[in-house]
Amino acid sequence: MSMSWPTDSLTRAERRALAQSTSRPTSFNIARPAWTNAALGVGGLLALLVLWWLGTDVLASPDGFIRHFSPTTAIPKLIVLLSGPDLPVHILVSLRRVLVGLGFALLVGVPLGLAIGSFQRLNSATSPAFQFLRMISPLSWMPIAVMVFGVGDDPIYFMLAFAAVWPIVLNTAEGVRRLQPAWLSLASSLAATRWETLWHVILPGVLGHVLTGLRLAIGIVWIVLVPCEMLGVSAGLGYFILDTRDRLAYSELMATVLMIGLLGFLLDAGARALYRLATRSHA
């Protein structure tokens, strides 16, 4: 053969050494202890804080507007706000909306996902329609939602549930498709009724996938929540952002932004912990 790879001229030993050197990074990643990863993560967060501080306190001109958004004012302000009467109420209102929205999404998404995962024809029939609906920003339903559900929490519940339902449906359906056929033969060999098969085999079998879908849904809902709350409500973190802007309370605004990030981080960590708890025995 005329074509030759650069490695063709290497001896066997050299090739083995090359293979080892290229495979090392992956094995190194796997072997790295958990605390090293945690330390690296904390380091990254600290670097982010430093970048924020550099941008608002060091690099900005002394009388620049951006200095209002410095961490040196936002972080103390956040502590003050959290001990005050307002912010905790707004946080609770927002979290309640997230929970109700996710609850509706689960209520609709899990049965729908079970059906779609079980029947290939239903999957084929619904797949393009869902891709279409999924790509419509939930916020674009706002005017219609307000006309249908009225002003208040209801249109927000609708939009959050609408945003959260897709990852739950798709992951639940995937979970059903990945159920081990052996588990289903087991159920039929024990003369399980349809209900018993659903309750004792299918639901626990797809739980991990449902929780993965839930975690993705939490990420989406948390992002959609803030703009939703900027429209026609008088409480919640989105409302509070606009409120601080109108009061020209810029350090409070930045403190709220920080709080939104913090809560989102905690929600995601909670979802991950729930997933680990549910699948701890499978490892």
Partner 1 sequence: MTQLALHPSRHDAPALETPVLQAPILQARGVALRYPGQSRATIEGFDFALAPGETVSLLGSSGVGKSSLLRVLAGLQAPTEGHVTMNDAPLVGVHPRVAVAFQDPSLLPWLTLEKNVAFGLDFKHQPRQSRAESEARVEMAIREVGLTQSRRKFPAELSGGMAQRTALARCLARKPEILLLDEPFGALDEVTRTEMQHLLLKVVRDFRTAAILITHDIDEALLVSDRILLLGGAPASAIGEWRIDLPKPREDFIAELGAIRVDILSTLRGTAQRRAA
**Contact residues for partner 1, defined by CB under 8 A:** 180, 182-183, 185-193, 196, 200-201, 204-205, 207, 281-283
**Least distance CB 178 / partner 1 (angstroms):** 13
**Least distance CB 179 / partner 1 (angstroms):** 11
| Nearest alpha-carbon partner for 224 in 140, 152, 168, 110 | 140
Of the pair 187, 260, the CB lying nearest partner 1 is at 187
User: Does residue 275 contact residue 208 with C-beta atoms inside 8 Å?
Assistant: yes
- Which pair of structure tokens corresponds to residue 270? 């909670």
Of the pair 144, 190, the CB lying nearest partner 1 is at 190
For 255-276, b/e burial (b = at least 16 CB within 10 A) is bbbbbbeebbeebeeebeeebe
Of the pair 135, 191, the CB lying nearest partner 1 is at 191
**Least distance CB 122 / partner 1 (angstroms):** 22
E strand or H helix that includes residue 141: none
Of the pair 150, 204, the CB lying nearest partner 1 is at 204
E strand or H helix that includes residue 191: none
| Nearest alpha-carbon partner for 73 in 277, 249, 271, 231 | 249
Of the pair 207, 258, the CB lying nearest partner 1 is at 207
